[in-house]
Every structure is written in C-alpha cells, then in structure tokens.
C-alpha cells in the first residue's frame, strides 16, 4: 500500500515556486559487490523500493554478467544483496514476434512495481535495431508512431529467486503526437499512479521536448494481443525545446485527496521535476548536484561529480532514492581523487537519497 506524502508534509497540495532556485546537494554511496569492490558496469535503469530493498535492472550496455537480472540493494549502505533475481521469458511466449529479442540481451530502460501486487513488475524496452523482426512481424507491428520497431511493455512476476516475463505488449503512439523516429531516445521512466494508471516518460519527441504518456492497466489489458496505444494527460511541465532535458526516471508520489505528483528526473541537466497530476500548478524544477565519497585522507570526504546521469527514482514513503547510469563517454571526467579512479573506470554507479522538503510544497 502506498503511503501518502501528506503524513510527512502536512496537507501540502501545490508546488511552491520559491524552492526552484535552491540547489539540492546529495552525497552518494558507491554500489558495492560482495567482494567489497565497486560494482562493475551494471548500467542501472529503473529503481523500485520493495520489502526494505531497492531493485534495479541493467540495460544492454552493461557487462554481460549483469544483464538479464534484477539486482537488489540495501538502501542504507548501497551494498548488493544476493542472489539477484534472474530474468527468464515464459515458454508461453515462444510464438511471440518479440520472444528472441526479449530472451537475448534486450535493452531494458525502466522498472516499476504493480500497486496491487508487489510480486508483479513492469518493464519497458528501447532499441531493437540490433535484433530485427522477421518481415511478417515487421509488417504486423506497424505503424508504431515512433521508432521503426516498437518499444515493448513487459509484465513479469517474481517466482522464488527468479523473475518470469509473462506478457509482452508493443507500444503505439498516435501519429498526431509527433514522437519521431528515435530508436535510442524512447521511454526511460515508468510510474504507477492511482486507478491503475501507468505513466511513461519519453526522452524526447520530434520537437526535442520530453513527454509523459499514460496507459490504463485495467482488467483484460494483458489479454489484448494488439498494440497498447498511449494517451497523453494534460500536465504542466517545462518545455525547453533544446533537446537537453530528456526525462530518464519517474516516480509517483501519492497525496491524500489529490491525484498526486510525478517526480521526474532530467538527466542531462541534473534537475528533479515535481509535476502536479491535477494539472493546476507549474512543475517545480529543483536543480541538484551529486557528490561521490572518496574515503581518502588526501582528498575531501566528498567530491562533486561532473556527470552523474540519474536513471532511477524510488520512494520509500519518506525518502526519494536516486541511482545513476554511468554515461561511458562522460564518466571518467569525474575522476579527481585517485581513490575513486578504479570505481569510475569500472563504471560503478552510486546510490543517492534525499528527503522530500516542505518548501517544495505550499498549502492550497
């Protein structure tokens, strides 16, 4: 059951514009494996809080041993919890056009837990260009309204120590949305709100604007063999139009007697956006900076990162957790203290946490 942020923020219902200019600093923890080393190149995508653990998946650019697993983290230390949940595709999907792609190094980009069943998760995939469909399948799954091959929404469930993908639905965007053909700039955030509404954060459209779409996961949704066609809620959030504000993470924040908020992260500019689902308030834009621990007497205790690239948000009822997806072309620019060189060269992620702040909200 989702806890309402009202228990913590005392009937706060609308975003305060006054907090937007205050930069929020967050000191992180290196994600560590059982050998005591910084985790090697897991490329985290998505983050959820479940049973006092944090869970994330790896995208296709991760080391092969990190892929096709849901990794588990201790929130207070950033240490990995073992075993990870191995991902497999149910045999019932063998006739699907997408079985081979999902079974072999798919590009997972987001993860969210069902609000009614904590053993059920949803994921979304991105680039399929390296795993082309057969001509019959390619003809069947057109038009996507986006990339040449569709982005896929997956349903799966935990069974003991493994995660089994049970359903696949290709996502379709109406042509009027003008999404554009960006195979590697797709859906990178999922959040589940009230009334079984699934929100999907798109990096950018043909006008270089990020977008948020929605699907209704009503009874029978996963029995439909056709496209899952998204709609677009009327939300108020920044539209910079410069292509530098892709949304790469999403988290629903519940509010009593209110539709709630979406916390979204604009990775390239280190901005946390708080979006009013009622559509009344302008989105709050909270600039952030991220700091890595050095564990060295020769350096400050923490050093500011040049590039973090946050790609996962999770909320435990009081704290918002963030995890980064090391951007390989930029990550070594972070090297300052020699004690952190190995972690950056291993493309190790960090776990961050911030408390929701009262001055992000005002009384309505």
Break the chain into its structural domains and give their ranges. Answer: 6-363
Write down the pLDDT at residue 241. Answer: 62
Percent of the chain with pLDDT strictly greater than 70: 90
pLDDT score of 7 more than 70: no
Would you place residue 148 in the very low, low, confident or very high pLDDT band (cuts 50, 70, 90)? confident
Long-range contacts of 272-276 (CB under 8 A, 24+ apart): 272/24, 273/237, 273/238, 273/247, 274/15, 274/360, 275/212, 275/235, 275/236, 275/237, 276/14, 276/15, 276/235, 276/236
Predicted local distance difference test score (pLDDT) of residue 22: 79
For residue 233, how many other CB atoms are within 10 A of its CB?
Answer: 15
User: Which is more confident, 180 or 65?
Assistant: 65
Decide if pLDDT at 125 tops 60. Answer: yes
Q: What is the mean pLDDT of residues 38-47?
A: 97
Region 149-166 average pLDDT = 97
Q: Which CATH number fits domain 6-363: 2.60.120, 3.30.70, 2.40.50, 2.115.10?
A: 2.115.10
Residue 351 confidence (pLDDT): 99
Instruction: Give yes or no for residue 308 having a pLDDT over 90.
Output: yes
* Prediction pTM value: 0.93
The predicted-structure confidence for 62-115, as pLDDT tens digits, reads as follows: 999 999 999 999 999 999 999 999 999 999 999 999 999 999 989 999 999 999
Q: What is the mean pLDDT of the chain?
A: 91
Residue 10, pLDDT score: 36
Identify which of 211, 96, 68 has the alpha carbon closest to the alpha carbon of residue 152.
96
Answer for the pair 154, 75: CB distance below 8 angstroms, yes or no.
Answer: no
Statement: residue 228 has pLDDT above 80: yes
């Amino acid at each position: 059951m989702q806890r309402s942020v009202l228990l913590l923020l005392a009937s706060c219902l609308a975003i305060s514009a006054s907090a937007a200019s205050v930069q929020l600093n967050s000191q992180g923890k290196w994600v560590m494996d059982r050998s005591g080393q910084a985790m090697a190149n897991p490329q985290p995508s998505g983050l959820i809080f479940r049973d006092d653990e944090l869970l994330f998946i790896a995208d296709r650019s991760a080391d092969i041993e990190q892929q096709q697993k849901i990794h588990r983290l201790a929130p207070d230390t950033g240490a990995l919890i073992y075993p990870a949940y191995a991902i497999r595709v149910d045999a019932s999907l063998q006739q699907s056009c997408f079985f081979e792609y999902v079974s072999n190094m798919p590009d997972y980009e987001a993860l969210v837990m069902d609000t009614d069943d904590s053993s059920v998760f949803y994921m979304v995939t991105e680039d399929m260009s390296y795993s082309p469909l057969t001509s019959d399948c390619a003809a069947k799954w057109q038009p996507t309204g986006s990339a040449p091959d569709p982005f896929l929404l997956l349903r799966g469930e935990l069974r003991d120590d493994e995660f089994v993908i049970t359903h696949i639905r290709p996502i379709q965007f109406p042509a009027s949305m003008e999404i554009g053909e960006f195979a590697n700039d797709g859906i990178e955030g999922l959040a589940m709100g009230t009334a079984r509404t699934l929100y999907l954060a798109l990096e950018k459209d043909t006008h270089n604007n990020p977008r948020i779409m929605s699907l209704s996961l009503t009874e029978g949704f996963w029995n439909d063999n056709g496209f899952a066609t998204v709609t677009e809620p009327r939300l108020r959030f920044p539209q910079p139009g410069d292509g530098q504000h892709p949304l790469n993470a999403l988290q629903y924040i519940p509010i009593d007697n209110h539709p709630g908020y979406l916390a979204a992260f604009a990775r390239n500019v280190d901005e946390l956006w708080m979006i009013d689902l009622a559509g009344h308030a302008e989105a709050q834009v909270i600039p952030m900076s991220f700091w890595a621990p050095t564990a060295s007497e020769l350096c400050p205790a923490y050093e500011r990162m040049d590039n973090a690239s946050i790609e996962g948000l999770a909320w435990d009822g009081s704290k918002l957790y963030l995890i980064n997806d090391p951007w390989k072309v930029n990550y070594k620019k972070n090297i300052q203290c020699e004690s952190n060189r190995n972690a950056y060269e291993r493309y190790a992620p960090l776990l961050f946490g911030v408390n929701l702040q009262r001055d992000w909200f005002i009384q309505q």
